[in-house]
Amino acid sequence: MSVLVNAETRVLVQGITGHQGTVHTRQMQLFGTQVVAGVTPGKGGTSVEGVPVYDAVADAVAATGANATVIFVPAPYAKDALLEAVDSGLRLAVVVTEHIPFHDMLTMYHYARAHGARIIGPNCPGIAAPGQAKVGIIPNVVFRPGRVGIISRSGTLTYEIVNGIKEVGLGQSTCIGLGGDPVVGTSFVDALPLFDADPDTDLIVLVGEIGGTAEEEAAEFVKAHLSKPVVAYVAGRSAPPGKRMGHAGAIIARGRGTAESKLTALREAGAEVATFPYEIPGLVAARLKELRHR
């Protein structure tokens, strides 16, 4: 099994004819993903990387049976793209687009939830299940099939940690990049129970960063509900208060959202906490070895 995507996932690419849409369509195909359709209004009847392009999402879904979408359209049009996807029956939408206005994302979030759809992102690298499917932009070369689930707020840290896990001879069941904006469609608390219920995930790596309370909420969930071990890392221990560090959501305000407060909460919940990213593969390997010898 995997989480949210698998070999049966049929991906539609909104904004496929743009540079990023075209490049990452090719990379998703190389990963083994079934990319079955693209949508760019006015470009219907053409093709990109052998993928047929349609003018509307509903037409693409009807013709190809697409069941997931990845959105590469510019920020001013991302809300309409997401609403069109949901109205067309798609229930998984990975929104790669950055700089989506805050109020647009609030509309997107509540509209998707009201219709039983899940958003990953925005401003995210997407989701990947090695050997099955990738929906997004995470580099193909860092993956190896395995039994470690990864949930992360940071794109580049995700790549580093996934690659480090591969280099110690382990692999990943699924990796979800949640996105770095203040409002995201899927949180740690949303994703953790999916991995906990996945029989092919033995351990979960949680990668957080400063800003907001998502990691503290995750710690509460881990302590109260999670049955699987967690290895955690939180970026931004040296970040000064009030200064944005990287993502729009990575800012400490009014004494809340510091790395130390998050790390403390995770430790108290029973997670093993890394001080630096390069420590994570070793912690994961040691914990998995311990689990095998119980």
Provide the pLDDT for residue 179: 94
Cα 128 from Cα 213, distance rounded (Å): 25
Locus of tokens 């009201």: 114
Provide the pLDDT for residue 235: 85
For residue 250, pLDDT beyond 80: no
Provide the pLDDT for residue 188: 97
pTM for the predicted model, two decimal places: 0.93
Q: 138-292 has which CATH code?
A: 3.40.50.261
Catalytic residue among 19, 110, 115, 247: 247
Q: Where do the structural domains in the chain lie, given as residue ranges?
A: 10-120, 138-292
**Tell me: the pLDDT tens digits for 98-122?**
999 999 999 999 999 999 999 999 9
Question: Was domain 10-120 assigned CATH 3.30.460.10?
Answer: no
Q: What is the mean pLDDT of the chain?
A: 93
Provide the pLDDT for residue 261: 86
Could you tell me if residue 53 is left (phi over 0), alpha (psi between -120 and 50 degrees) or otherwise beta?
Answer: beta
For residue 155, pLDDT beyond 70: yes
Per DSSP bridges, beta strands 47-48 and 51-54 are: antiparallel
- 189: confidence class by pLDDT, cuts 50, 70, 90: very high
Q: Determine how many CB atoms are found less than 10 A away from the CB of residue 44.
A: 15
- 180: confidence class by pLDDT, cuts 50, 70, 90: confident
Catalytic, 293? Answer no
- 238: confidence class by pLDDT, cuts 50, 70, 90: low
Instruction: For residues 28-49, give the mean pLDDT.
Output: 98
For residue 256, pLDDT beyond 70: no
**In terms of pLDDT, which residue wins out, 178 or 238?**
178
**Tell me: the pLDDT tens digits for 3-22?**
999 999 999 999 999 999 99
**In terms of pLDDT, which residue wins out, 63 or 154?**
63
What share of the chain has pLDDT > 70, as a percent?
93
Instruction: For residues 220-237, give the mean pLDDT.
Output: 93
- 65: confidence class by pLDDT, cuts 50, 70, 90: very high
Provide the residue type at 64 as one letter: T
> End-to-end alpha-carbon separation of the chain, Å?
24
Q: Is the omega angle on the peptide bond into residue 130 within 30 degrees of 0, that is, cis? A: no
**In terms of pLDDT, which residue wins out, 246 or 283?**
283
**In terms of pLDDT, which residue wins out, 111 or 237?**
111
Instruction: For residues 246-252, give the mean pLDDT.
Output: 52
Q: Do the domains at 10-120 and 138-292 have one common CATH topology?
A: yes
